[in-house]
Chain A
Amino acid sequence: MKSNPETFTKVKSYVPFHGPCDPCPPIGRKYYSTPPNLYLGFQPPNLPQFSPAEALKSGTLWAFFYDFYENPYKKRAGKGNG
């Protein structure tokens, strides 16, 4: 199950079906997280580490596992379909 950071994305999306009789405007794209730990299996030795200050700030010592989260619907807020 090992893979390089470049070989996966941390967010996936899909477009749910929207029927002609659905009452609300379509949400469009739905997003879900697929954090890095799903792709690693047992942690191998010698993974790159954050500096102590970065590690305390980010919540992990290991750069591989870092996954910043942002509201994926934020961009569309106020555009009338979000």
Chain B
Amino acid sequence: MWSYEKKLQYPVKVSTCNPTLAKYLTEQYGGADGELAAALRYLNQRYTIPEKVVGLLTDIGTEEFAHLEMIATMIYKLTKDATPQQLRDAGLGEHFVAHDSALFYNNAAGVPFTTSYIQAKGDPIADLYEDIAAEEKARATYQWIIDMSDDPDLNDSLRFLRQREIIHSQRFREAVEILKEERDRKKIF
């Protein structure tokens, strides 16, 4: 089970009215390498992975939901006061006609989320390597969003999230090292 703390993992402040950024941020909301995909991937893979790394997948999968909540807050703040005209100018007209300014699990191009974005091969090495790749892809996506954004406060939160991807990648790499380790074998050199 989970317990919920009613606060964000890191503060989200948006200083400019720029609904176009909301469109870009949906890539991390319902995109292939987004936070939803990450959370579902890790929390699902953890059942069929050696016990030593189950806790890691639980911890990181849970943190991804905290990141998802930050992204949702950013998108909400950027669109909640936008008029239909402003949303249309931001390329969100198609989103508006289906959802008003409600959030939805799309990628930045409007493609709805699908579980084919994630994998569970049942092979610990294959799954952890996928997880490492997912973290690097999410890190790169944050970089490209920062490159497109000139909102310093928003970029501050995005830099925090990018740093977390680096740490997660490190921990998954360490998980691979733990599973590679030959512990009970007599080593003769």
- CB neighbours of A57 from chain B (8 A): 160
A60 and B139 contacting across the interface, CB-CB below 8 Å: no
- CB neighbours of B169 from chain A (8 A): 35, 37
Interchain CB contact (< 8 A) of B163 among A43, A66, A70: A66
- Interface residue range, chain A: 20 to 34
A35 and B166 contacting across the interface, CB-CB below 8 Å: yes
B147 and A65 contacting across the interface, CB-CB below 8 Å: no
- Give 1 or 0 for each of A43-67: 1 = CB within 8 Å of chain B CB: 1000000000000111110000111
In the assembled complex, B170 has its CB within 8 A of some CB on chain A = yes
Residues of chain A whose beta carbon lies under 8 Å from any beta carbon of chain B = 33, 35-37, 40-43, 56-60, 65-71, 73
19 pairs, A vs B, C-beta closer than 8 Å = A35-B169, A36-B166, A41-B177, A56-B10, A58-B163, A59-B160, A59-B162, A60-B166, A65-B163, A65-B166, A65-B167, A65-B170, A67-B163, A67-B166, A68-B159, A69-B159, A70-B146, A71-B147, A73-B147
- The answer to whether residues A42 and B177 also contact, given A33-B143, A69-B143, A69-B159 and a CB cut-off of 8 A, is yes
Interchain CB contact (< 8 A) of A69 among B10, B146, B177: B146
In the assembled complex, B164 has its CB within 8 A of some CB on chain A = yes
**Docked complex Cα distance between A11 and B177 (Å):** 25
- The answer to whether residues A69 and B174 also contact, given A59-B10, A59-B167 and a CB cut-off of 8 A, is no
In the assembled complex, B173 has its CB within 8 A of some CB on chain A = yes
Residues of chain B whose beta carbon lies under 8 Å from any beta carbon of chain A = 10, 139-140, 142-143, 146-147, 159-164, 166-167, 169-170, 173-174, 177
- CB neighbours of A59 from chain B (8 A): 10, 159-164, 167
B177 and A37 contacting across the interface, CB-CB below 8 Å: no
- CB neighbours of B162 from chain A (8 A): 59, 69
Interchain CB contact (< 8 A) of A37 among B159, B160, B161, B166: B166
**Docked complex Cα distance between A37 and B139 (Å):** 13
Interchain CB contact (< 8 A) of B146 among A41, A56, A60, A71: A71
